[in-house]
Amino acid sequence: MNLEGLRVMGVDPGLTRCGLSVVQAGRGRAVLPISVGVVRTPSDLELEKRLLRIFKATTEWIQEYQPDVVAIERLFERGNVSTVIHTAHAVGVIMLAAAEQGLAVHMYTPSEVKKAISGNGRADKKQMTVMITRILGLAEAPKPADAADALALAVCHCWRAPLIAREKAALARRDAELAARRNNHPVAGRGAGHPVNRIQGAQS
């Protein structure tokens, strides 16, 4: 399925540093970089104000670059519960910003992204940065790592999007076929002529 022109916003969520990127699908597996950056919030700022900055930045990016969909890293246990909770807060406001702008959100685990970009689900950050720089034809590696991660998420979705679209179309066809069968073979009302009632009547 050809999704050339699909514009994806990739987000590497974080409270202190939140990576944002936008790429556009080209022909085949080609992906064109549009923009990349990092939103930073100071640790001494109140939590609600830090989240507001991330929400506003995400909204501004969506309005400026007009992506078709948003791809976010799926949270996983990193051993530091506090870090996970703070990142979860950031994910929440990012998803809210996307939903408010009418965009669907797709989530990918780090291993899924690494596998898609490098072929190795355990690739380290240096390998991922090298690969994403090469894939996008960038003159220099994106920095910091949050920016490279955001780009990797966006590219990952560009490459996964055709499969997702095919699966969605297949489900739609299946649902349509089931609906057509129900319409062609409606369930009879349980009146006197219904087989179950006739059997029960014969036994009584």
Active-site residue, from 4, 12, 100, 177: 12
Band of residue 82 on the pLDDT scale cut at 50, 70, 90: confident
91 domain-assigned: yes
Nearest to 113 by CA among 105, 124, 103, 104: 124
For residue 176, the model assigns a pLDDT of 92
The full DSSP string for 153-193 is HHHHHHHHHHHHHHHHHHHHHHHHHHHHHHHHSPPPP-STT
What stretch of H or E contains 141? none
182 domain-assigned: no
Active-site residue, from 60, 112, 124, 146: 146
191 domain-assigned: no
Average pLDDT of 75-80?
Answer: 71
Catalytic residue flag (residue 12): yes
Band of residue 75 on the pLDDT scale cut at 50, 70, 90: confident
Active-site residue, from 73, 100, 149, 167: 73
- Structural domain span for residue 136: 7-168
Catalytic residue flag (residue 44): no
Give the model confidence (pLDDT) of 10-65 as tens digits: 999 999 999 999 999 999 999 999 999 999 999 999 999 999 999 999 999 999 99
For residue 79, the model assigns a pLDDT of 65
Band of residue 204 on the pLDDT scale cut at 50, 70, 90: very low
- CATH number of the domain that residue 62 is part of: 3.30.420.10
For residue 1, the model assigns a pLDDT of 61
Q: Which amino acid is at 105?
A: V
Residue 121's contacts (CB-CB under 8 Å, 6 or more residues apart) are 111, 112, 114, 115
Cα separation of 28 and 45, whole Å? 45
Task: Give me the sign of the Cα torsion angle 9, 71, 116, 141.
Answer: positive
124 domain-assigned: yes
Residue 108's contacts (CB-CB under 8 Å, 6 or more residues apart) are 71, 72, 73, 74, 116, 153, 156, 157, 160
Task: Consult the annotation and say whether 44 binds a ligand.
Answer: no
Total count of domains within the chain: 1
84 domain-assigned: yes
87 domain-assigned: yes
Catalytic residue flag (residue 175): no
Give the model confidence (pLDDT) of 91-137 as tens digits: 999 999 999 999 999 999 999 999 999 999 999 999 999 999 999 99
For residue 17, the model assigns a pLDDT of 96
19 neighbors 149 (Cβ within 8 angstroms) = yes
Q: Where does residue 177 rank: exposed (0-12), middle (13-18), buried (19+ CB within 10 A)?
A: exposed
114 domain-assigned: yes
145 domain-assigned: yes
Nearest to 74 by CA among 113, 107, 117: 107
Which 8-state DSSP code applies to residue 74? P
Cα separation of 34 and 85, whole Å? 31
Give the model confidence (pLDDT) of 132-182 as tens digits: 999 999 999 999 999 999 999 999 999 999 899 899 899 999 999 999 999
For residue 31, the model assigns a pLDDT of 97
For residue 197, the model assigns a pLDDT of 44
Which 8-state DSSP code applies to residue 13? -
